[in-house]
Each structure stands twice: as structure tokens, then as C-alpha cells.
Amino acid sequence: MPRGASRRGPSLAKEISGLLMLAFLLGCQGQGEFRDLEPSIATYRDRMLVEHTAQPPDVPPPTLEPEPSEPVAQPVPWQADLPPRAALVTRPEELPQPRPIDVLIEIPDPETAPQSFRDRLEALKSVPKPDERVIANYEQVLPRAIENLKQIGAGRTRKVYLSLAEAVQRALEHNYSIRFESYTPAISRTQLIQAEAAFDAEFFLDVNVDKRDLQTTDPRRPAVSQVTTYGGGFRQLLPTGMVVTTTLNQQRAWERVDPGDQLVKIMNPQYQSVFAVNFRQPLLRGFGLDVNRAQINIARAQLNIAYEQFVLQVRQTLLETETAYWRLVQARRSAAIVAETAAQYWATYQALWRRREHDVTVVELSSAESRWRTREVQYMEVIRDVKNAEDQLKVLLNDPDLLLSQDIEIVPTEEPFMAQMAHDQLEAVRTALEERSEIRAARQQIEQARINTSVAKNGTLPRLDVTFDYEVQGLGNNADTSFDHLTTNRYISYVVGVQFAVPIGNRGPRAAWRQAELQEAQSIVG
């Protein structure tokens, strides 16, 4: 016999014996018609046998799918008469919000905190079922809390009540930063006037006396002479770059000559009157309104920058003042809260101290004392914060009535504002881009750099100027006669000229132009 057949023998015998036993049991159940089963189970068995018999033989038995662990949503066709589902119309529950006055009562100012504490005690007594233990405990807390609050104003010279509007007004009047920055726009305005004064007409007056005593070998040449010249006029720069000069001069010349020279004797001394007009117009370098008005435009931009810096300083100071004011309000109200909390821990410690001989252990008593002492230290720190907030507000106000050297208690009278506020982010960004002083000042700085670049570019051009001189002359043996001859407008002279100049290499103007371009790019980036 093969080795594999010998191994399968015992297992095959066991399987055959199991099948025979199962057939025997089924036969016994069929003969007994399940007499031992309960009636409900027998009924269920009969119903299943009938359904199995009535099923057509060619239909395969249904397969049992495992039931899902969670309910499966089935699509339902839309019907007009179906009521709306509750899950689609319900809203999250809205919790009632406390009124602002109720919140402020819970965080009172030390000035009104004693009355708020008394109102709490009355509220505890007025409930339908008052708790006597709670009332008795708070009756011990109340005087202790009021005693703690007195430490805020202990040793103060006087008390000053201050509203937010008053604080802002005092800061605007006395703050050193605002006062210092307020001079900058005025200084910039004077610089603008100086730049505009470049086009003001200038009056000038000249007087010269030339007296000579020379050694000469020519008897016809005068050895002694005296020439006196006096005159005046106006000079003005025009926006195009032209310089106009008008002068009126008169000259008296006297010479010591031979008495036999009758001609010289008649015109000695002689008077000469001259009226002259001079025009000088640049055609390349220095030509144009933009170049000649550049300093005015730069000064005007600087004035705008100074104004925006002043507005920025005012806004920053007012923001710091308002922040310091509300920080003082917060510190004082926190002090009132901590004062009451310290009093409550003190009352708890006193209650445990009275029961130390009964049911209170040393550990519990020490723990209560530790918590009370910790709150006392915290209250001292809060009082320090109140005084620091007062000092910070005094520094910003710089009011002579609120000196740092005087220990003055400042009591804010403004109530904290509590309300929901909706902000439009796009509108806020648009307003900031249009109204922020830093952005406006940066735009003016870019404009200044652009003007400097334009002027530097014009400076790279060669100098090409056209000049025109017009002159009328009159001569006589006295001043009146020479001036009368001048007014006849008979002796006229004029000169037309062109002047050209350019630096060899032109490196300096080109470097200045490049520097201006870099500074303009820097102003845009920074």
C-alpha cells in the first residue's frame, strides 16, 4: 500500500462516521416532527418550508447581502406637498448675549466698585431662595474688598477726573512730539518762498569813482583825470531761463588838459547818459519751465511731506494717548476684580481658621493661606500696573497740571464701548492706500526724485546761450543836457551774440544724471 494511502485512512474513517451520525440525527428529527422545538420556532420553520416549496425551481435562491452598519440614504423624488425637512431649516442656537451695562457692572471701576459690591450683596439677598451661607460669606468679603480698594488712592496728593476727549485735547496742546513736528511744515513753507523768490525782480545801484594822476611824456595826454559813474537798474530771471537786465547809467569825466584846446575845454567836464537792456536766453542747458521751476516744485513736495509727517505724528500720538487711556481703564478695573478676589480668599482663610480645631487640617489651612497671600501679592502688582499706566498717560499728555513729580490719581470717566462692528476689508484697504500719510509722503518723495532726475538730465546738455544788448546814448556838458540827448533816442547801438560751452568728456554731468536715476529707483523701492 502506498505511504499516502495509509495516512488518509484514519481521517477518511472519521469523515464517514460523522456523516452517518448526522444522517441518523436528521432522520430522528424528521420522524419526531420537531416535538421538542418551541411553537414559535416550529411556526417559523413551517413558513420557510412552504415558501421554499412555492418558489419556482428555475429561479436561483436570493443571495443574502450583509446589512450596512449605518442607514443608507435613498433618493426620494421631489413632491410639492412634502413638508420641508427640519434639518435643512433649523439654525444653530443663538446664545443670549449679555447687555453692556451688565458686563460693566461685573467689572467696575475702583471709584464705583464699593457701590457695585453692595448691589451684589443686595442681589444675593433678593433671590427667591437666598443661601444664608453665601450671604454671610459675602458680608465678610465686602468690607475687606472696600479696604483693599483704598490702597489705590492711598497717599495721593489729589484726584483728577479725566475723560477721553479731555485727554486728547491735552495731548494736542502739550505733547512735545506734536509741538516739535508742528515747526516742520512752517520751515518747509519758508523754503518754498525762498525757491519762488528766485523769479523776483532785483534792483541794483552802482557808484564808481575813478581818479587818476599819471606821469606822461605826451603833453596832449591828460595826466590828471577823474571819472565818476553812477547808475542803477533791474535784473530778473524769467521761468524760461532768460535773464533780463535794464540799466541807466550816467558818467561824469573831467580831465586836466591844455587850456588852448578849446574843444576839450567846452566838453570838460563831459556827461554821458546810457540806457541799456540785456537779454540772455539759454537754448539747451537751463532752458524750459520744468528746469527753472524745479526748485519750486521740490520745495512744494517737501512742504507736502512735512505736512504728512506732522499728520502722522498727530495720529500716532493720539493713538498712543487713547491706548494709554484705555490701558489705565483696564488696569483700574482689573484692580477692582483682584481686590474682590483677594477678599474672597481672605474670607475663605478666615472661615477655615475658625474651624481649625474641628475638621480642618493643617495642610488645608496652609493651602488657603497660601492662596490668600498669593492674591495679595497679585493685588500689589495690579496697583503697580495702575500707577505705571497713569505715568505713561502723563508722559503722553505732558500737561503742566499733571506732572510726574506729583503723585496724582487719574480717574477715567469714559465707559468702555461695547458693540459689534462690521468692517469692509476692501474699503479699509482702499482708504488706507488713499489716506495713509506714509503713502502720501512716499509719493511726494518719488516726485522729488523724478524732478531731480529731469534737472540732472538737462545738465548733461552743452551750454548754448543767445545774448542781445540794446543801448541808447546821450552826451552833454552837464547832466541835464546828456539826459535830454538820451531821450531823443537818436544814438542807438545793439549787439547780438551766441555763447557755446561744453565740458570735455562731460563726465561730471553724466555721473550726476546717473546718481539721480539711482536715487529715483531707490525712492520707488524704499
Helix, strand, coil percent content, the chain, rounded in steps of 5: 55, 15, 30
Confidence band of 153 (pLDDT split at 50, 70, 90): confident
For 111-141, write each residue's pLDDT tens digit: 989 999 999 899 889 988 888 899 999 999 9
Confidence band of 21 (pLDDT split at 50, 70, 90): low
Q: Where are the domains of the chain?
A: 100-208+293-418, 209-289+439-525
Q: How far apart are CA 459 and CA 453, in angstroms?
A: 10
Confidence band of 381 (pLDDT split at 50, 70, 90): very high
For 182-204, write each residue's pLDDT tens digit: 999 999 999 999 999 999 999 99
Q: How far apart are CA 139 and CA 121, in angstroms?
A: 7
> How much is the pLDDT for 64?
47
Using left for φ > 0, alpha for ψ between -120 and 50, and beta otherwise, residue 247 falls in beta
> How much is the pLDDT for 71?
58
Q: Which residue has the higher pLDDT, 12 or 384?
A: 384
Q: How far apart are CA 289 and CA 296, in angstroms?
A: 11
Residues 6+ apart with CB under 8 A from 151: 379, 383
Contact 342, 148 (CB under 8 A): yes
Confidence band of 40 (pLDDT split at 50, 70, 90): low
> How much is the pLDDT for 424?
84
Confidence band of 472 (pLDDT split at 50, 70, 90): very high
Task: Give yes or no for residue 57 having a pLDDT over 70.
Answer: no
Q: How far apart are CA 109 and CA 120, in angstroms?
A: 15
Q: 3-class SS at 362? A: helix
Contact 234, 201 (CB under 8 A): yes
Q: How far apart are CA 202 and CA 193, in angstroms?
A: 16
Task: Using alpha carbons, select from 180, 329, 336, 439 the residue that is nearest to residue 321.
Answer: 329
Task: Give yes or no for residue 7 having a pLDDT over 60.
Answer: no
Q: 3-class SS at 264? A: helix
Confidence band of 85 (pLDDT split at 50, 70, 90): low
Q: What is the DSSP string of 150-180?
A: TTTSTT-SEEEEE-HHHHHHHHHHH-HHHHH
Q: How far apart are CA 106 and CA 103, in angstroms?
A: 5
Q: How far apart are CA 270 and CA 475, in angstroms?
A: 7
For 190-248, write each residue's pLDDT tens digit: 999 999 999 999 999 999 999 888 777 766 666 688 899 999 999 999 999 999 999 99
Q: Kindly report which listed range (87-101, 244-258, 264-278) carries the lowest average pLDDT score.
A: 87-101
Task: Give yes or no for residue 47 having a pLDDT over 70.
Answer: no
Q: How far apart are CA 393 and CA 431, in angstroms?
A: 30
Q: 3-class SS at 491? A: strand
> How much is the pLDDT for 154?
83
Task: Give yes or no for residue 465 having a pLDDT over 80.
Answer: yes
Confidence band of 360 (pLDDT split at 50, 70, 90): confident
Strand boundaries in 85-168, DSSP class E: 158-162
Confidence band of 6 (pLDDT split at 50, 70, 90): very low
Task: Give yes or no for residue 322 having a pLDDT over 80.
Answer: yes
What is the pLDDT of the chain when averaged over all its residues? 84
> How much is the pLDDT for 97?
67
Q: 3-class SS at 500? A: strand
Overall pTM surpassing 0.85 (yes/no): no
For 493-523, write each residue's pLDDT tens digit: 999 999 999 999 999 999 999 999 999 999 9
The residues with which 204 forms a beta bridge, in sequence order, are 233
Cell of 303: 512742504
Residue 455 CB neighbour total at 10 angstroms: 20
Q: What is the DSSP string of 426-446?
A: HHHHHHHHHH-HHHHHHHHHH
Contact 270, 475 (CB under 8 A): yes
Nearest 10 degrees: Cα torsion 144, 149, 152, 155: -60
The residues with which 469 forms a beta bridge, in sequence order, are 278, 495
Average pLDDT over residues 166-185: 94
Percent of the chain with pLDDT over 90: 56
> How much is the pLDDT for 107?
87
Q: Which residue has the higher pLDDT, 381 or 26?
A: 381
DSSP, res 199: G
Percent of the chain with pLDDT over 70: 78
Confidence band of 389 (pLDDT split at 50, 70, 90): very high
Q: How far apart are CA 172 and CA 10, in angstroms?
A: 112
Count of positions (residues) in the chain: 526
| CATH match of 100-208+293-418 with 3.30.565.10 | no
Q: How many CA atoms within 13 Å lie on the side-chain side of 98?
A: 8
Q: How far apart are CA 407 and CA 413, in angstroms?
A: 19
Q: 3-class SS at 403? A: coil
Q: How far apart are CA 64 and CA 520, in angstroms?
A: 83
Q: Which residue has the higher pLDDT, 265 or 452?
A: 452
Q: 3-class SS at 244? A: strand
> How much is the pLDDT for 17?
55
Q: Which residue has the higher pLDDT, 404 or 397?
A: 397
Contact 241, 292 (CB under 8 A): yes
Confidence band of 32 (pLDDT split at 50, 70, 90): very low
Q: 3-class SS at 207? A: strand
